């Protein structure tokens, strides 16, 4: 499963996982960060996954599994462990409301107090936890995990192998209001939907607004952290990651493999090219059309230039002192003439 090479007792058995600094016998742990190497030689873990490139400084009591990437290998095992646990969840708890027109596949779990509206489809192997609301015509693909309290409004489409964490709202109205001559605002009906493709994960208490017309799109492999806001008609590209508290305004198009830091803000109708990086707390007000561009600050600009500017700013007191000394020296020279 993880293409590892065993060093030590191949018959060692474990039944749970533990952090390397506090693991006990019978647990499996891993070492990926060199800062924790000291614990490798005194941990109580029975099995430890390590990078094959690691050169041991002392003997290790535990059985080792050497792999190319210990962090990825450990994540693979955790995922398999979680799948086994989830496979045990089957059936429909009571009370629930499932409309007569709704369809559920095989090995589906529907938790208590869930609501499945008209023409809802929940495909094979998906788990719908308690207090989830699925509005009319919602489609949920195979092997999805919809955690407690998630609300998915009408007509939204969720792909396969999607995880949506507790409290998230999918398909609420976009923020569309037309200013009127008398100073009031007239609501613009939001008649589109949200489409989330396969292998997407959305954190807790995030919001993804439905499109005014068409679809708000979250492409395959994208990962959205807790408390992320995605506005109407936004497109988030494949394998793009957005950290907590970031917000993307309406109709912006984010490319593939983009990384957006926490609390970043992105203005509306922008284009962000593939592979761009937007640092935490940055405020982006213009498009990034060159792939791989890195920016920081508010307003955000080129990362390297920003770092140099920050370094210069830290030296301003010293530079001010030197300027004052030079002015004093120049004044003294002028007095002698």
pLDDT per residue, tens digit, the chain (337 aa), is 999 999 999 999 999 999 999 999 999 999 999 999 999 999 999 999 999 999 999 999 999 999 999 999 999 999 899 888 877 889 999 999 999 999 999 999 999 999 999 999 999 999 999 999 999 999 999 999 999 999 999 999 999 999 999 999 999 999 999 999 999 999 999 999 999 999 999 999 999 999 999 999 999 999 999 999 999 999 999 999 999 999 999 999 999 999 999 999 999 999 999 999 999 999 999 999 999 999 999 888 788 887 788 788 888 888 889 999 899 888 888 887 6
What pTM did the predictor assign? 0.84
Angle between helices 316-336 and 303-314 (to 10 degrees): 60
Cα distance between residue 11 and residue 116, in whole Å: 48
> By three-state DSSP, how is residue 272 classified?
strand
Q: What is the residue whose two structure tokens read 């949506």?
A: 164
Question: Which strands make up the sheet holding 277-278, listed edge to edge?
Answer: 91-92, 109-110, 127-128, 145-146, 163-164, 201-202, 223-224, 241-242, 259-260, 277-278, 294-296, 301-302
Residue 154's contacts (CB-CB under 8 Å, 6 or more residues apart) are: 117, 135, 136, 137, 138, 171, 193
Task: Say how far residue 142 (Cα) sits from the centre of its chain.
Answer: 21
- Four-CA torsion 157, 162, 167, 169, nearest 10 degrees: -20
User: In the prediction, which pLDDT does 140 show?
Assistant: 98
Establish whether 232 is a catalytic residue.
Answer: yes
Residue 22's contacts (CB-CB under 8 Å, 6 or more residues apart) are: none
Cα distance between residue 23 and residue 31, in whole Å: 12
The residue annotated as part of the active site, out of 147, 165, 199, 232, is 232
User: In the prediction, which pLDDT does 334 show?
Assistant: 83
Cα distance between residue 122 and residue 152, in whole Å: 13
Residue 54, CA atoms < 13 Å, CB-side half-sphere: 27
Determine which helix (DSSP H) or strand (DSSP E) holds 202, and give its type and residue range.
strand 201-202
User: In the prediction, which pLDDT does 77 show?
Assistant: 95
Other residues' Cβ atoms within 10 Å of the Cβ of residue 203? 20
């Amino acid at each position: 499963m993880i293409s590892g090479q065993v060093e030590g007792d191949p018959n060692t058995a474990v039944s749970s996982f533990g952090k390397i600094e506090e693991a006990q016998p019978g647990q499996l742990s891993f070492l990926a960060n060199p800062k924790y190497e000291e614990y490798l030689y005194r941990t109580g873990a029975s099995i430890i996954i390590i990078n094959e490139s690691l050169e041991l400084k002392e003997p290790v009591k535990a059985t080792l599994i050497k792999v190319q990437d210990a962090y990825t290998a450990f994540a693979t095992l955790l995922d398999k462990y979680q799948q086994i646990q989830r496979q045990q969840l089957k059936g429909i708890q009571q009370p629930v409301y499932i409309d007569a027109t709704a369809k559920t596949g095989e090995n589906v779990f529907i938790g208590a107090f869930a609501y499945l509206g008209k023409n809802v489809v929940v495909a094979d192997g998906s788990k719908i936890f308690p207090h989830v609301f699925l509005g009319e015509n919602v489609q949920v693909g195979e092997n999805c995990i919809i955690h407690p309290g998630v609300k998915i409004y009408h007509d939204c489409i969720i792909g396969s192998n999607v995880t949506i964490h507790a409290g998230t709202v999918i398909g609420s109205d976009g923020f569309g209001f037309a200013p009127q001559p008398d100073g009031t605002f007239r609501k613009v009906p939001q008649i589109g939907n949200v489409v989330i493709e396969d292998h997407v994960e959305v954190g807790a208490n995030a919001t993804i607004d439905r499109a005014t017309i068409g679809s708000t799109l979250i492409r395959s492999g994208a990962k959205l952290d807790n408390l992320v806001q995605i506005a109407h008609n936004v497109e988030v590209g494949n394998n793009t990651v957005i950290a907590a508290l970031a917000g993307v305004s309406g109709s912006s198009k984010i490319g593939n493999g983009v990384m957006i830091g926490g609390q970043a803000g992105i203005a509306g109708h922008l284009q962000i090219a593939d592979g761009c990086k937007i640092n935490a707390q940055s405020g982006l007000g213009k498009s990034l059309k060159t792939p791989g561009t890195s920016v920081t600050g508010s307003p955000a600009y080129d990362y390297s230039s920003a770092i140099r500017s920050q370094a210069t700013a830290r030296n301003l007191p010293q530079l001010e002192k030197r300027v004052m000394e030079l002015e004093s020296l120049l004044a003294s020279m002028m007095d002698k003439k």
